[in-house]
Amino acid sequence: MPDHLEWVEPVLALARRAARLPRGARTPFAPVGRPRSMAVMAHQDDDLYFLNPLLVSQLHSSEEHLTVCLTAGEGDGRNAPGGTREHAAAPVDFEAFAAARFNGLRCAYADMVLGDRDAKWRREVTTLAGGAEADVSVLVDAPHVRLVALNLWCAPPPDAAPGSGPLTRLWTGEATSTPTMVPLGSPVTGTHSYSRDSLVESLVELMRRFEPTLLWTMDPDPDLQVHDRANPRYADTGDYSDHIFHTITGLFAHEAAARWFAEGGGRRTSVEAFRGYYVRRWPSNLSPEARARKQRYKDVYGWADRRPSGDPAGLGDRKVGGDLIAGGNASGTTLRYPGSRSWAGPGADGRLSAFAVRGGQVVHWREDRPGEFAGSRRVPGRKLLPHVDAVPTADGGWRLFAVRQGLTADPAQHVRDLWTILLPASGDYRDVRWESLGNPNAQSGPAKRRNIGMPQAVSLPGGRLLVLTRNAGKGLSGRLHDGATWTPWRDLGGGDTQEGLTAVALDDGSVEVLAAGRNGIARWLVSTAGELTAKFSVVRTEAPAGPPTVVRLPDGSRMMFCRCRDSASVVSFRTRGDGQVWDPSSLVDLGGHGGPGPIAARFVPDRREVLVAVRDDASATSVLRVGPDGRARGTWLREATPVAGSHAVSVDSSGRPVVLAVSAGGGLLTLPVTPSTSSVSSMKEVP
């Protein structure tokens, strides 16, 4: 790969061309930080299965994009549909099948970026740690797009050096090295063996050269999954809901990112991890249009059209060509850490603060005059996962909650603990320190300790505070702070829910907690009087396609929003009568533009309406105003700047409603919304 300076001309060339934006969206002004996106995948099709439709939108928004594929994906070496006579008769040629898969990936990227699957690529070689050569593909007519193939064998051949093993054993140290292959037609001149450290260092080197502001990885901590007749194993590994190579690739990528961040890199970098085969276990969160786009590019990769090829390896992976994604492994696009909706809000003085994790560290933006934010400040503390929940304190400070990730080769030594920090109103962070709240699964085995959910905190009368998280049993756990000390973790029951909690304090002192369940909306009514207890029930609705969001209305009733399965729509429904019972018959289909992650919503008293914001199929911002009856006021408005994580909706110090997000370039985006808004201006961005 050329040195970083040689990438400047492709960047400038991209800046001169018009970006392709969602229908009806306005062109944003140049962002404060130009987005550079990087994805680290295990196999040649993982990004097409698990990142799209966000990937195709990001390719048109990023000024540079780099996808890194760790393995050669050689499989059984036969490029023919499994279970067919053709497959049985096909010769085994691992190097040719690996080449066919990369050919298919290049065709898919060319189609996503240029609409021409046969567009030309330039092949190069770059040298990484220990002298390893990697195969680099540059899209000639869009040179901001590059693919890097490390070509590690998935299953090293019998003649591999002693101590060799697959990527999974390389991570744990059970293997001392994993060899590479040279796929058919590759410009790489020879093979190499990666050690665990040299593979991590090679990824760090790519991050140093490329300097991504948005890093996409695979899921390092997939959910545990029961496999039985009702839940076939498919391609899952062990007791998990994903393929082990996806998991190990996620761990390598996160370890490399942590090293890069520790040496001072990635100060504007947002990290997002994507679920793998887990998505087939839950309702699809994609619209029919988004699934069709995902199907199209997957079919290009799979050489479904069987168009003539002069390449002896062929133009794609015929094992998947033409397969319908339907309810399978590509049916959804789901973030492992979907993001908080409570990362921004007014402090005790009425001025807005916003918090995000960039480079594994929390950054803080603060409103210095109505609607205007000062540049970000860094909060001490590292190795945090991309989620922060913020609660204002009565004295003008903030209490933050996040999860710290500690990675080791030994699976029993992984750390995923909930941490909290108290930020003083003075803004002097020199002596502040994070405090560990431990893990609700601390007494369980290592696998369960890794499956901690992201925190949701709720302020209670008398200065008390309740923090909640999904536990390894996919139920709810909580700790209560009485103003001085924390109670022990308490298992509050429930189970079979997706990641992403929403909670609201009720007039009687209890807290209502909601999550997406298998057969509807999981609901806990948590009593905070004395020892924490909870009543668990399920609101019988169609299973939602993602985390719900609850909003309290002035009369004490509540409104819930969630994504409708197999649809682009957001739906609302309300409580009935005294507010104790949810009424599924009040459901209103609000339409929308699809997308992953949680829904942000807030009641705006001056306007007697709820303002709703979501990350849509284009990884952009969609906004809707909703009346107290749950019905839309006007249509969805879209703003095209690509975002990372989730939105927040709040009110600035002048009382004006505002939508907030973090851009793919790492800046804070703000969008004021007025009652007469029929279109939206570009979001302001603050570094």
Query: pLDDT value at position 327?
Result: 75
- Residue 31: how many other CB atoms lie within 10 Å: 22
Burial of 5 (0-12, 13-18, 19+ CB in 10 A): exposed
Res. 411 pLDDT band, cuts 50 70 90: confident
Average pLDDT, stretch 372-387? Answer: 96
Q: What is the per-residue pLDDT across 490-527, written as a single tens digit (0 to 9) for each? A: 999 999 999 999 999 999 999 999 999 999 999 999 99
Q: What is the C-alpha to C-alpha distance for residues 163 and 154, in angstroms, rounded to an integer?
A: 15
Beta-sheet pairing, 36-41 with 64-71 = parallel
Last residue of one domain, picked from the residues 268, 286, 301: 301
Whether 310 is covered by a domain: the verdict is no
Whether 668 is covered by a domain: the verdict is yes
- pLDDT above 70 for 540: yes
Query: pLDDT value at position 615?
Result: 96
Asked whether residue 454 falls in the same domain as residue 538, the answer is yes
Structural tokens at position 600: 């942000």
- pLDDT above 90 for 481: yes
Asked whether residue 280 falls in the same domain as residue 362, the answer is no
Alpha-carbon distances of 490 from 235, 423, 434, 596, rounded to whole Å = 34, 26, 22, 30
Domain containing residue 654: 344-686
Whether 320 is covered by a domain: the verdict is no
Average pLDDT, stretch 7-24? Answer: 38
Report the CATH number at residue 223.
Answer: 3.40.50
Q: What is the per-residue pLDDT across 124-176, written as a single tens digit (0 to 9) for each? A: 999 999 999 999 999 999 999 999 999 999 999 999 999 999 999 999 999 99
Alpha-carbon distances of 147 from 5, 38, 39, 105, 208, rounded to whole Å = 18, 10, 10, 9, 16
Q: What is the C-alpha to C-alpha distance for residues 143 and 38, in angstroms, rounded to an integer?
A: 15
Asked whether residue 531 falls in the same domain as residue 669, the answer is yes
Asked whether residue 631 falls in the same domain as residue 497, the answer is yes
Query: pLDDT value at position 676?
Result: 66
- Number of domains the chain contains: 2
Q: What is the C-alpha to C-alpha distance for residues 33 and 18, in angstroms, rounded to an integer?
A: 18
Query: pLDDT value at position 681?
Result: 67
For the beta sheet containing 643-651, the strands, ordered from the edge strand earlier in sequence to the opposite edge, are 643-651, 657-663, 668-672, 684-686
Last residue of one domain, picked from the residues 239, 268, 301: 301
**335 vs 33: which has the higher pLDDT:** 335
Q: What is the C-alpha to C-alpha distance for residues 658 and 663, in angstroms, rounded to an integer?
A: 15
Asked whether residue 279 falls in the same domain as residue 363, the answer is no
Q: What is the per-residue pLDDT across 270-294, written as a single tens digit (0 to 9) for each? A: 999 999 999 999 999 988 889 999 9
Average pLDDT, stretch 76-81? Answer: 96
Q: What is the C-alpha to C-alpha distance for residues 228 and 497, in angstroms, rounded to an integer?
A: 18
Cα torsion through 422, 426, 427, 431, rounded to 10: -60
Query: pLDDT value at position 589?
Result: 97
Asked whether residue 512 falls in the same domain as residue 639, the answer is yes
**444 vs 316: which has the higher pLDDT:** 316
Query: pLDDT value at position 12?
Result: 36
- pLDDT above 80 for 29: no
- pLDDT above 60 for 34: yes
Asked whether residue 562 falls in the same domain as residue 416, the answer is yes
Whether 415 is covered by a domain: the verdict is yes
Whether 326 is covered by a domain: the verdict is no
Q: What is the C-alpha to C-alpha distance for residues 546 and 646, in angstroms, rounded to an integer?
A: 13
Asked whether residue 350 falls in the same domain as residue 281, the answer is no
Average pLDDT, stretch 226-252? Answer: 93
Asked whether residue 290 falls in the same domain as residue 381, the answer is no
Asked whether residue 256 falls in the same domain as residue 366, the answer is no
Q: What is the C-alpha to C-alpha distance for residues 104 and 112, in angstroms, rounded to an integer?
A: 12
Query: pLDDT value at position 394?
Result: 95
Cα end-to-end span (Å), the chain: 29
Query: pLDDT value at position 660?
Result: 97
Displacement of CA 624 from its chain's centroid (Å) = 23
- pLDDT above 70 for 18: no
Asked whether residue 182 falls in the same domain as residue 83, the answer is yes
Whether 29 is covered by a domain: the verdict is no
Count of residues for the chain?
Answer: 687
User: Which residue's entry shows tokens 């409603």?
Assistant: 657
Average pLDDT, stretch 179-188? Answer: 98
Whether 127 is covered by a domain: the verdict is yes
Report the CATH number at residue 682.
Answer: 2.130.10.10
Q: What is the per-residue pLDDT across 97-116, written as a single tens digit (0 to 9) for each? A: 999 999 999 999 999 999 99
Whether 520 is covered by a domain: the verdict is yes
- pLDDT above 90 for 580: no
**427 vs 25: which has the higher pLDDT:** 427
Asked whether residue 401 falls in the same domain as residue 514, the answer is yes
Average pLDDT, the chain: 92
